[in-house]
Amino acid sequence: MHAGFAIYTPIGTVVHTGDFKIDYTPIDGQKINFGRLAEIGENGVMLLMSDSTNAERKGFTKSESSIGEVLDELYAHCQKRIVVATFASNVHRVQQIINSSVKYGRKVAICGRSMVKMIETAVELGYMEIPKNIIIDIDLIKSYPDESLTIITTGSQGEPMSALTRMAAGEHKKVMITPNDLVIISANPIPGNEKFVSKVIDDLMQIGAEVVYSSLADIHVSGHGCQEEQKLMLSLIKPKYFMPVHGEYRQLIAHAETAEKIGIPPENIFIMKNGKVLEIGENDAKITGTVPAGKVMVDGLGIGDVGNIVLKDRQHLSQDGLIIVVLAINGSTGEVVSGPEIISRGFVYIRESENLMEEMKQALKNKLGILQEGHITDWAVIKLTVKDTLRDFLLQRNRRNPMVLPIILEV
């Protein structure tokens, strides 16, 4: 079990598993304490919140120790430099990569700030054992032959600014991928990241590097329990109420179905959404309302002061540009005294699009003339007419939809 905690409240114990799987042969030898879990369950648990990531998968998750055998096979006959990308949070995976590097006489360089920090902290706290003189500075990798070097890096999910992505694009300042590299991606794509990971693999292969990933070898095992482990957790904890957490909605549903099979009544299972409030009393539990939840936008020094509308406007400007229309109108008659003058930014270059600008002005004059004949002087109507006229004209003319800002001056 990777993480978890129990909270003791006046109405009963609340248990949150965190990410967990049941590994009978863990790398550090610290096996899950079934006795303690059973003791908590026997004392009575009001609510269990349990990891649902692998709720759709039957059976058990493979042991982390199985990765060491696969790594050894890859290292045994490799005469290339080995670059391994994995999660910076996976202490045991990094330990096995270092173990294989030591076994086959390779120095290890660490790339990626989160990876460097994790290893430093894990060694300091005693969670990792690294022989002296194995770790070298990333700046010294050119001093060692490829066949005696391993680089451990972040970026297994193809994150745009991660170290591996920059290596694949040829933009990393310290590591240049070559055809003499074996790149091992020791992770499965998180749902939604498949496109990014695929792009990184393609870029690495175009350089000529050999790439090994989960579809080609058993180079990754999940850190989350499957259905049988979830059943065991539910059976040991024996909660009165159950809330599946940490997963897509379909996985929460699957975990809820597993809980029903264990014997938890459907009315005692709560599938929540962000912001929903679950209120638990001595005799019942119910969803009582909502609280604000969701993304908080950070813009420069401001936090939370940029909302969806502002971001939508920025996206609109970045894609289609801006047109400003300036008009001077007689306030009493609605007659156009001056203009319309058109200013373009990020839409077209005015000096090279004089004909288009004239056509736009003429279309506006025609519409404004109709408003004048109808004695319409309301600014809101005039502004809306300007926007609609240009939008329809430009969509028909060149399939573009720039942001239009009318500015009306009353004279």
Contact criterion met (CB below 8 Å) for 201 and 167: no
Query: How far, in Å, are 45, 181, 297, 308, 329 from residue 178 at the CA level?
Result: 56, 6, 39, 43, 66
User: Which strand (E) or helix (H) includes residue 339?
Assistant: strand 336-345
C-alpha–C-alpha distance, residues 379 and 207, integer Å: 60
- The candidate with the shortest Cα–Cα distance to 268, out of 250, 244, 247, 235, is 244
Q: Which of 2, 92, 220, 224 is catalytic?
A: 224
Phi, psi of 339 (to 5 degrees): 100, -170
Q: Helix/strand/coil (H, E, C) string of 260-309?
A: HHHCCCHHHECCCCCCEEEEECCCCEEEEEECCCCCCCEECCEECCCCHH
With both helix axes pointing from N to C terminus, report the angle between 34-42 and 227-237 in degrees, rounded to the nearest 10.
50
Active-site residue, 19 included: no
Active-site residue, 146 included: no
Contact criterion met (CB below 8 Å) for 175 and 138: yes
Q: Which residues contact 199 (CB under 8 A, 6 or more apart)?
A: 158, 168
With both helix axes pointing from N to C terminus, report the angle between 91-103 and 113-125 in degrees, rounded to the nearest 10.
90
Q: Which residues contact 362 (CB under 8 A, 6 or more apart)?
A: none
Q: Which of 2, 23, 51, 220 is catalytic?
A: 51
- Residue ranges of alpha helices (H) inside 129-248 are 163-168, 194-207, 227-237
Catalytic residues: 51, 224
